[in-house]
């Protein structure tokens, strides 16, 4: 996260996540192209959470409904139901409800953050919706943040998930960087890595870097790294357009 380049759109994405924490329950949705920086924004968000927040973080959501509930309970530090209740959905939901009520009574806010959320099945998404029904007379007890690729938006627009879609209180789609932002991004990454030195990419190289990567940060990282290696292998201190090509 210390390498995170806060472009206007990354800053707005982070603001949507932080707004969701204050939103009083329901879902917050962050989508973006592969390599756009969604996970890094999510980790930056986790670092900025207030001390009263307690977080369950799921990064591999290809789970059944029971596995989801087991994982959520485990992330919140709850002991698994024993005996005949070990495979009971109700036992897991009841344990989670007791935990959430206790957390609320102590002034804590529970967050469930799910990365790669486009992998969630319709059954699991419906179970997540049901979890947001856990509430007191004034407050929902669980805030759920879904981070995923663009197809997650399509999934939530599908018939049968209208009730979940209506509970999304904030949503943001993280797009690629502009050409100017790509140049700023490269400069930022190099300044964080150090040492203090002139940026080794000339203007045409940066323009070529943007064209080839479409402004997607992960692609920029890969191509810029390879271009630096190419210049080094040629004994050059600057990266030109031909080396990027």
For residue 143, pLDDT beyond 80: yes
pLDDT, position 98: 93
pLDDT, one tens digit per residue, over 20-71 is 887 667 899 999 999 998 988 998 899 988 888 999 999 988 999 999 999 9
DSSP character for 146?
E
Question: CA 234, 235, 240 angle in degrees (round to 5)?
Answer: 65
CA distance linking residue 87 with residue 95, whole number of Å: 13
Chain segment 152-194, per-residue pLDDT in tens: 999 988 888 888 988 898 899 999 999 999 999 999 999 998 8
Distance CA 237, CA 93 (A): 60
pLDDT at res. 160: 84
pTM score of the predicted model: 0.87
Q: Is the pLDDT of residue 81 over 80?
A: yes
């Amino acid at each position: 996260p210390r390498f995170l380049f806060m472009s206007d759109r990354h800053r707005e994405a982070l603001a949507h996540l932080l707004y969701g924490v204050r939103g009083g329950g329901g879902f917050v949705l962050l989508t973006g192209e592969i390599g756009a920086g969604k996970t890094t924004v999510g980790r930056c968000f986790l670092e900025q959470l207030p001390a009263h927040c307690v977080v369950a973080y799921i990064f591999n959501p290809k789970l059944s409904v029971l596995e989801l509930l087991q994982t959520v309970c485990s992330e919140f530090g709850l002991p698994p139901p024993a005996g005949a209740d070990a495979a009971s959905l109700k036992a897991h939901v009841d344990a989670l409800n007791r935990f959430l009520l206790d957390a609320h009574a102590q002034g804590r806010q529970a967050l469930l953050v799910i990365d790669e959320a486009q992998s969630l099945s319709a059954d699991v998404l419906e179970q997540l919706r049901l979890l947001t029904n856990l509430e007191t007379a004034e407050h929902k007890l669980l805030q759920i943040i879904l981070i995923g690729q663009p197809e997650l938006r399509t999934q939530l627009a599908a018939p049968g998930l209208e009730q979940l879609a209506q509970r999304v209180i904030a949503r943001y789609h993280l797009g690629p960087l502009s050409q100017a932002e790509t140049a700023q991004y490269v400069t930022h990454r190099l300044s964080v890595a150090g040492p203090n030195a002139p940026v080794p990419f000339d203007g045409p190289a940066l323009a070529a870097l943007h064209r080839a990567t479409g402004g997607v940060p992960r692609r920029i990282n890969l191509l810029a790294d390879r271009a630096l290696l190419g210049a080094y292998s040629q004994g050059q201190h600057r990266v030109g357009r031909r080396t990027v090509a």
